[in-house]
Amino acid sequence: MLKILLSAPNGRMGQALTRVIGDSADAELVAPGSRDFDLLIDFSTVDGARNALALCLEEGKGLVIGTTGFDEQMLKAIDSAAVVIPIVLAPNMSVGVNVLFKLVELAAQVLGNESDIEVLEAHHRNKVDAPSGTALKLGQVVADVLDADLDTQAVYSREGQIGQREKGSIGFQTIRAGDIVGEHTVIFAAPGERVELVHKASSRDNFAQGALRAAHWLTDKKTGLYDMQDVLDLKS
């Protein structure tokens, strides 16, 4: 039985994980603050993830991180920690979204050089970071295929007389409204045709199921930094 500690059990994802793990036959939750755990799952805040990382390093336990919005310093800390403990870091734990990453990679290989590319995302009104980590990952997938630097090619806002679209730019559009769980669309628009790849989440339980799948996958790993593409064997 896999003993799992949650860093934010009362949050939206914490509640979804509590439901999913409660229905699982081979995993159980431990009480908040317990040191008797096999692995920690973090869907919290940047500070919460920093504390979770420190605890797992201290205890020598694995860590699944779904929190987003990290700066370079935190990403380097995670990378360094992965030399000591096993970590799955993914901006989106949904199996469907990770299939979307793969489909976007394929589309970028075939259409990327001839298309205008836009990434659209929508989330609930309480989400604090924008664009979402998933949207940024989708943009990075495209940039990697095109051998481009996302930092210089990304366009995050448009207003007024902006002039003609620059070739090779990757646009991002953000919506924050109501209780939208999560929607992502990548558009490849070429003269005469347009391809749209879309994922829409209607429940947080699918993210929780993916996080639990990552937790089980991580149990036989001693060290290393992984993502959901590794968990789902989508890199082969």
Residues serving a catalytic function are 123, 127
Q: What is the 3-state secondary structure (H, E, C) of 167-213?
A: CCCEEEEEEECCCCCEEEEEEEEECCEEEEEEEEECCCHHHHHHHHH
Count of other CB atoms within 10 angstroms of residue 219? 11
Radius of gyration from C-alpha coordinates of the chain? 18
The closest alpha carbon to 92, from 232, 188, 236, belongs to 232
Separation CA 217–CA 221 (nearest Å): 8
The closest alpha carbon to 46, from 22, 16, 78, belongs to 78
- Tell me phi and psi for residue 106, to 5 degrees: -65, -45
Torsion-angle region of 89 (φ positive above 0: left; ψ -120 to 50: alpha; else: beta): beta
- 204 CB-side CA count, 13 A: 16
